[in-house]
Amino acid sequence: MSTPAHAQATPHPVPPPGTPPRLVLGSTSPYRRELLARLRLPFDCVAPAVDETPQPGEAPAALATRLARAKARDVADAVAAHTTGAIVIGSDQVAELDGQPLGKPGNHARALAQLQTMRGREVLFHTAVAVLRSSTGYAGEAMATVRVRFGQHDDALLEHYLRLEAPYDCAGSAKCETLGIALLGAIESDDPTALVGLPLIHTCALLRAAGLEPLAWAR
């Protein structure tokens, strides 16, 4: 008896021949790790050894680009000795207000001061990503800039938010992927995950250029 057309199973895509190149995320950030995992690709995380101190007069966007490139290069050099053909991702985010970088607050007092300063204002979040594949000489990079307008919230609400989420490791002192979204008035971006820490649209494009098609190898 033939199987009804509506009951036929959808064929699973045939995996490409061989194995995918090793993918390495040059970061220990849990936010970037979670974002890259959305692509359903196997990858490793390696901590880059990069000094993140801004250079004198360095613009926030230039700082993010330089650090993303440096992280990718450092990790690519580290894995080259025992892995041939690895693809390495480096990324960095720098928030900007009035042309000056806003770093990670690190503690409650500095986080509160950041939120008070940004209240009712627009902040730019520059998220750079760099992809290297040393075996082929490929080196690509991209930048996603997100415009974020913060709402008008009194100090008591800012204090309450900080006590609940303790976003002291986040530039801008707010986690937009969770309760921090309630602090914001608007977000403008062409790459929606950039604000969290890794612009996945740009990352996919760079991986393709490096020889790894995310859709072909997703599992």
Please give the positions annotated as active site: 92
Q: How far is CA 85 from CA 18, 77, 88, 132, 206, in A?
A: 13, 12, 10, 10, 15
Between CA 88 and CA 139 the distance in angstroms is 10
User: What is d(CA 209, CA 204) in angstroms, rounded to the nearest whole number?
Assistant: 9
Bridge-partner residues for 126, per DSSP?
94, 145
Q: How far apart are CA 206 and CA 127, in angstroms?
A: 14
Neighbours of 186 (CB within 10 A): 10
